[in-house]
Amino acid sequence: MLALLARHLVLLIGIWIPVSCIEQPGNYSAEDSPRFEPVPVIKPGGQVVAVALGSGGPRVFAAIGVLKALEAKGYVPDLIVGTSGGAIIGALYAAGFTPDEIEAIALETTLFELLDLVISDYGYIGGQALHGKLTRLLEGKTIESLKKPFAAVVTHVETGVMEILNRGNAALAVRASMAIPGVFLPVIIDGAHYVDGELVAPVPIRVAKQLGADVVIAVDVQARLDEAPAMPFYPPEWLSMGVLKRRLVDAEVDSTTILVQPVLSYYAGFSNQYKQSFIAAGEAAINDALPKLRELIQPEDQKTRKVNNAGRLLVRRMPPARSL
């Protein structure tokens, strides 16, 4: 609803703005341009566990709860892959933020600080505000300099195919992964247009496998179609897109996938009340996944991850060194 109001506002304002002021997507071309590169084996001889964080608008806050519960039970992934909003949470997690820290960031972030309205044929949100926020949080780092292997999934507009960004500017890769067509301006990297990866991989399970995962913990926060309100209150194109995304997710699930599907309300908002309820639902969803977690993840690897994670938390909590 907020998106529709924003679009109508932009259209009304646009009547009074000269055509020369209409926003056009800028082309990003630099040494740190987001891109895909083959990477070395993540853990030679060991089991690689990935977490695939799916799209879902504000429902992605549930992924924070999933990560909190996983760490509490000693399951820490070796690889993080994200689509759309899941890429935001995934990038922060890969950068070394704990789930509690990501939750704090989510609760202090307002929707309006992420919206920079523009007049354009391509969308009505520029994406620069989001990009700036991500750049500050990620300290301008490249994906390869993050603490854990990470990849964002995008859709290549010119070809309609999925692409993986696992190298280059992390904030820009995430911004491209969640550039919802018709809402956000597309992101142009080295002349190619990229939009939301949700169109091709709502939950990037196969991408995680392609990058070396043996087991994938897939976090699916898509809206439940059986809870959709009756039309005309529910636009038919939303239903069609929901059916398509459901099929895309189901096609990627196999015997090495641990599918985590938090129970979320159909309507999703950006208030802290919604955020906290979704995070709590994400934590609760791990209980249903525990049997398969114990079945698929090797105990010795789980123990090693728990030790490594304790070390990671200790490093993050150590006070900074002081110069004399």
* pLDDT greater than 50 at residue 189: yes
Instruction: Select which of 55, 78, 84, 220 is catalytic.
Output: 84
Cβ(32)–Cβ(198) below 8 Å: no
Query: What secondary structure letter does DSSP report for 164?
Result: E
pLDDT in tens, 238-270: 666 777 788 888 899 999 999 999 998 877 889
- Among residues 196, 214, 220, 301, the one annotated as catalytic is 196
H helices of the chain, where?
A: 2-14, 61-72, 85-94, 99-108, 128-137, 170-177, 205-210, 236-252, 272-296, 299-317
Q: Is 196 a catalytic residue?
A: yes
Residue-wise pLDDT tens digits, 78-129: 999 999 999 999 999 999 999 999 999 999 999 999 989 999 989 999 999 9
pLDDT at 279: 97
Angle of CA points 59, 165, 212, to nearest 5°? 90
Distance from C-alpha of 92 to C-alpha of 100, rounded to nearest angstrom: 11
CA distance 263 to 282: 8
